[in-house]
Amino acid sequence: MKRKINVSLLIHLVFLLVFFCKQSTAQPISPKPKLLVGIVVDQMRADYIDRYWSKWTAGGFKRLVNEGYLCSNTHYNYVPTYTGPGHASIFTGTTPAVHGIVSNTWYSRADKRFVYCAEDRNEKTIGSPSKAGMMSPRNLQSTTLADELRMASQMHSKSIGIALKDRGAILPAGHTANAAYWFDDLTGAWVSSSYYMPELPKWLQEFNKDSTALKYLKEDWKTLLPINQYSESIADDNSYETLFKGETKPVFPHKIADLAKTNGNFAILRTTPYGNTLTRELAIEAIRKEDLGKDDVTDFLSISFSSTDYVGHAYGPLSVEVEDTYLRLDRDLEILLNTLDKEVGKGEYLLFLTADHGAMLNPSYLMANKISAGVENDSLMCDSLKKYCLKQYGDSLVITYNSQQVYLNHQALADRDLSLSDVKASISEYMLTMKGVARVLDTQTLQPSEAGSLVNCVYKGLYLARSGDLAVVYNPGWVEFAKTGTTHGSGYDYDTHVPLLFFGAGIPHGDTSERVEIVDIAPTVANRLGISTPNGTSGKVIRALSK
């Protein structure tokens, strides 16, 4: 006698069998890293990785490349490429069009004054009698990775930002940070803001008392290696470099002790490799004293090495000074990585390293080598525009020219019954007659275009409440205020192309030459941590690093 088959029971048994098979073969979920470390090297060009490769130690940049994952084609996708917007974009995963940090400073029509990206007049300095701590992240319009990490852990994660520059410490750590610390030129100490705390923690007070800043103020800056080994740089004595006040030639050794008094005392350390070493020393002290990465809740530490930017601005990318600064930074990174291995554990921390922008070769050097280049002066540009408008309309009409943008006086236009669009068209036509100007774009009518194009970079850099009326695009090789040394800010590769390295917990060894944009860092890290992306994120997860 045939038995009837219970089809429903059979389907149920098959489903359970498949489920348990999948469970048994599924890869275990990797534990979350105990510490997230975000490192920004201020003004680091992507080509420096290869340029100085033969001189790197095994434990610094080489270790990050040889054991980590290198994204060799990483770019900023907006302009201007400055420090404030760069740090904000790395950690928010979006551009100034969303996070609002359009430049280091911008003109506020409401306040009728320039606003600094991290300023906060309602806060006071903690740790010094100076005004260096009147800062906060309130101008930042979106959350950061650190904010999302803190909220995902019900605020149990610790979040700390460290940099010589206040903006380099404040913007990465975000709104909910436990602390941000930066260097005070008046006292040579590390300070903070009342936004974060009523007083410095005891460990930092003690650290400031024992600070090595005074020690470095008494040391000459000599090359780490014999100077004839700096074959990646041009001659030490050249006309493209800036002098410290009191120097007659921009050559080694730089006698810091003799020069300090006429160069801002402790401020001079910013334009030496010692500023980076001071930063590394504080970062290690914070790791130890704050017990970062000591439990199962992921903590956050951002470190911005700012001296590379100061040295770069003064001497330019081809200088012995820049090369020496990077060779010393490489040693600082080795010490930092070894400390993380010891204090947190190998494979227990997730680290990424990138830069907030690159830099152009000195325009005078380019011209000496028959390459088209030049220097534009903001003040002269603004004066020229005002004179043109005064002649054409009987009123200067221009409030300011700042960060490659023209701010017009809307009230003056209304009083004279002038059409804003007509005036902008007239000014644009006039500016196109100026040397070095390639394009002038109307910010109010600008539309997105091909990804990666200069026009699209301008579009993504606009936050209209803070941006000007016209945006200027210079020709390649043209910069503002860089007769010696260098500067940055454009949408060309020399400013947008930066290194990007991922290292540590769960990161595979490898590399990619596929285009990656700076806004992809935050969503990639959020994906690996299993947390929400920052609330303004416009980037995407890097495919090879997705969890």
Instruction: Bin 512: left if φ > 0, else alpha if -120 < ψ < 50, else beta.
Output: beta
Round to whole Å and give the CA distance between 12 and 9.
5
CB 216 within 8 Å of CB 277: yes
Question: How far is C-alpha 335 from the chain's CA centre?
Answer: 22
Q: Give the chain's end-to-end CA distance (angstroms, integer).
A: 55
In the annotation, is 83 catalytic? yes
Q: How many CB atoms lie within 10 A of CB 432?
A: 12
Bridge partners (DSSP) of residue 497 are: 75
Residue with tokens 């200027």: 472
Round to whole Å and give the CA distance between 11 and 7.
6
Q: Is 248 in a helix, a strand, or coil?
A: coil
Q: How many CB atoms lie within 10 A of CB 73?
A: 15
CB 180 within 8 Å of CB 173: yes
CB 327 within 8 Å of CB 55: yes
Query: DSSP secondary-structure letter at 154?
Result: T
Using a 10 angstrom Cβ sphere, with 0-12 exposed, 13-18 middle and 19 or more buried, the burial of residue 500 is: buried
Round to whole Å and give the CA distance between 122 and 131.
12
**Tokens in use for 254?**
């730089």
Angle ∠(78,102,43) on CA atoms, nearest 5: 65
Among the listed residues 180, 190, 193, the one whose alpha carbon sits nearest the alpha carbon of residue 210: 190
**Tokens in use for 408?**
């017009």
Q: Fill in the amino acid letter for 526.
A: A
CB 442 within 8 Å of CB 504: no
Using a 10 angstrom Cβ sphere, with 0-12 exposed, 13-18 middle and 19 or more buried, the burial of residue 32 is: buried
Among the listed residues 162, 99, 86, the one whose alpha carbon sits nearest the alpha carbon of residue 357: 86
Given 83, 92, 484, 533, the catalytic residue? 83
Catalytic positions, please?
Answer: 83
